[in-house]
Amino acid sequence: MYNQDYKVELPCFPEREVSIAEYGAKSGEFSEEAGRHNAEAINRAIHEVSEQGGGMVRIPAGIWAVAPIRLLSGVNLHLDSQAMLKFIKSKEDYPLRITSYEGQDCIRTVSPITAENVENIAITGEGIIDGSGDKWRPVKKFKMTAKQWDALFQISPYVIETKETEIWMPTESILEGNRHNIQGTTEEALAAAAPYYDFYRPVMVSLRYCKKVLLQGATFMNSPAWNIHPYFCEDLTVDGVKIRNPYFAQNGDGIDVESCTNVHIHHSTFETGDDAICMKSGKNAIARRIEGPCSNVYIHDCLVNEGHGGFVIGSEMSRGVKDILVENCTFVGTDVGVRMKSALGRGGVVENITLRNIHMSEIKGEAVILTMSYVLNSLNRNETIAMENEEDIPYFRDLSMENIEVTGCRQFTKLEPLQGRPETIRNVVVNGQKLV
């Protein structure tokens, strides 16, 4: 169970405040040149405020084109009401690097917003961060109306066909990147992948190894891949934010909390193209080499209007997920309400999870599904998983769900343990009934 006696530590900032306009940033023009100019101004303001001991870097009202920016210790990036940071997309500004995505090290471009190995940081205010994800994301035909699908061809003519559907590609380089699918973690792999940079689309907000992080009030929208990805962070607070992606946004997760400790997510709204509120902790045996369960997480008073899953654990859970309380939340129109997913090969344990006072409406599939049969099928790539030893067996245990109210779903609960291993899901109680 989440330790309710622990209070997640918030960042604190000196009274110092600067406006990006003081550093030469200009609103009202959307071009690569304007984005680079504004990014230079914003990054310079962040650097100087951090060097001086911290404070607020303020984004005034207006639409500010911007290239990638990096948060530093002691800085509160504050967006005034009617302020929008809208990120440009260009090969020069999004170099490839080795980072973590979907639970393993891989090639991705730099994120629009990055913070790494810093503390006392925040993104606050009533403004908007727009990742221009529509310029990065493929689109599956079956998710669109005929009119919407036809409109995509005004942007690009590139399509691939799979067994499942046709998939539209925003650029030729994304199309060719999908065909070559260059992977690896070496300099040679990075060089070979470089011509197809936008195939390796980034998470929008990447927070890595950070302490005392606050996201408050702002709208985070239109991300290239996942919207917000905290990774090995401590003392993370998400308060009153709005996270938005269109329903057809490929990999358009809301927030993916990976191997973080002491997390408080509350009074926030999610509309996403994939899982909305998701807990992760790495994938397969390679992830288990690093100690780092996702633990001590409190989620409450949140609304999920759309998404694959309202509250989700996995499928990347190999370092473990434990001690989580989710309460007083509403899920409307999601594919699944509560989903915990894993597969043979993952290993790891999901345990001590409590959900209570969860209200669901018009769930397209299961209200609650626990499955060990999750396999990722992405474009023309299939993931095959094999067990090498007992450590590759994942487990779900000690799960309690109380007062789960559902008006409309295909099936209330569904449990899928590993074939021949029923004990991989055990001690599950839903609305007072012990299921296993």
At 105-160, the pLDDT tens digits run 999 999 999 999 999 999 999 999 999 999 999 999 999 999 999 999 999 999 99
- The per-residue pLDDT for 380 is 36
- The per-residue pLDDT for 386 is 58
Task: Check: CB of residue 336 under 8 Å from CB of residue 378.
Answer: no
**Cα 139 off chain centre by:** 18
CA atoms within 13 A on the CB side of 142: 6
Identify the CA nearest to 213 among candidates 141, 129, 136, 122: 122
Look at phi and psi of residue 357 and say left if phi exceeds 0, alpha if psi is from -120 to 50, else beta: left
- The per-residue pLDDT for 4 is 80
Where in the sequence numbering do the catalytic residues fall? Answer: 274, 308
- The per-residue pLDDT for 48 is 98
Task: Check: CB of residue 314 under 8 Å from CB of residue 280.
Answer: yes
Which residues of the chain are under the pLDDT cut of 70?
A: 375-388
Q: Point out which residues pair with 149 in neighbouring strands.
A: none
- The per-residue pLDDT for 266 is 98
- The per-residue pLDDT for 388 is 67
